[in-house]
């Protein structure tokens, strides 16, 4: 699918750097932002596959930030990483922010890498599904237009084995 791009938003520089070092080894392009405003700006400038955000940051919570990401960039995956987790925040984050996963600091590097990999795959599958759905809709519209111009063109009669049956008139037209 090409280069996978992540955005890490955390007000702690050491956390941003640790995540960048850890995830860059798996061939991700990792952008970092010290806060939500900077993160939103980076989302305008780069094609991002997955945002990993801290929850407790000055000016805006991670949950509020990820809701904005969802509203403005619905095809971008979202994860929350925090050291101050409680069950209510986790449930709210998943339900309201449509967040893929909620992870606690300190994180296990192997678990983080697996979850990020799965999250990016999930995003890619959703994007591919949207492309396929659009293609199916275009094809359905094309068939509908054909049926309008040539009534009965999409009607096919089959025998018990699934072979297409043609009328005498259709056979004559094919032979002509």
Residue pLDDT, tens place only, 95-142: 765 788 888 888 999 999 999 999 999 999 999 999 999 999 999 999
Structural domain includes residue 159: no
Distance CA 44, CA 161 (A): 55
Structural domain includes residue 44: yes
Work out how many domains the chain is built from and give that number: 1
Structural domain includes residue 63: yes
Per-residue confidence (pLDDT) for residue 15, from 0 to 100? 94
- The mean of the pLDDT values for the chain is 89
Q: 176 pLDDT band (50/70/90 cuts)?
A: confident
With a CB cutoff of 8 Å and minimum separation 6, the contacts of 85 are: 55, 102, 104
Structural domain includes residue 75: yes
Q: The domain containing residue 81 runs over which residues?
A: 4-130
The CATH number of whichever domain residue 55 belongs to comes to: 3.40.50.2300
Relative orientation angle of helices 109-149 and 13-24, to the nearest 10 degrees: 70
Per-residue confidence (pLDDT) for residue 85, from 0 to 100? 64
Structural domain includes residue 161: no
Structural domain includes residue 96: yes
Structural domain includes residue 135: no
The residue-averaged pLDDT of 144-151 equals 87
**DSSP codes, 64-106:** HHHHHHHHH-TTSEEEEEESS--HHHHHHHHHHH--SEEEESS
With a CB cutoff of 8 Å and minimum separation 6, the contacts of 87 are: none
Position 3 pLDDT exceeds 90: no
């Amino acid at each position: 699918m090409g280069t996978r791009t992540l955005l890490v938003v955390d007000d702690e520089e050491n956390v941003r750097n640790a995540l960048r070092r850890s995830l860059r080894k798996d061939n991700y392009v990792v952008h970092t932002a010290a806060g939500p405003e900077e993160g939103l700006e980076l989302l305008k400038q780069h094609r991002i596959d997955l945002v990993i955000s801290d929850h407790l940051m000055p000016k805006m919570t991670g949950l509020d930030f990820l809701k904005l990401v969802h509203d403005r960039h619905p095809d971008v995956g979202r994860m929350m990483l925090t050291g101050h987790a409680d069950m209510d925040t986790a449930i709210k984050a998943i339900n309201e922010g449509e967040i893929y996963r909620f992870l606690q600091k300190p994180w296990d590097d192997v678990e983080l890498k697996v979850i990020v990999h799965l999250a990016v795959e999930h995003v890619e599958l959703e994007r591919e599904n949207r492309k396929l759905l659009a293609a199916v809709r275009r094809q359905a519209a094309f068939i509908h237009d054909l049926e309008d111009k040539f009534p009965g063109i999409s009607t096919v009669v089959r025998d018990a084995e699934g072979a297409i049956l043609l009328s005498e008139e259709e056979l004559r037209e094919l032979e002509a």
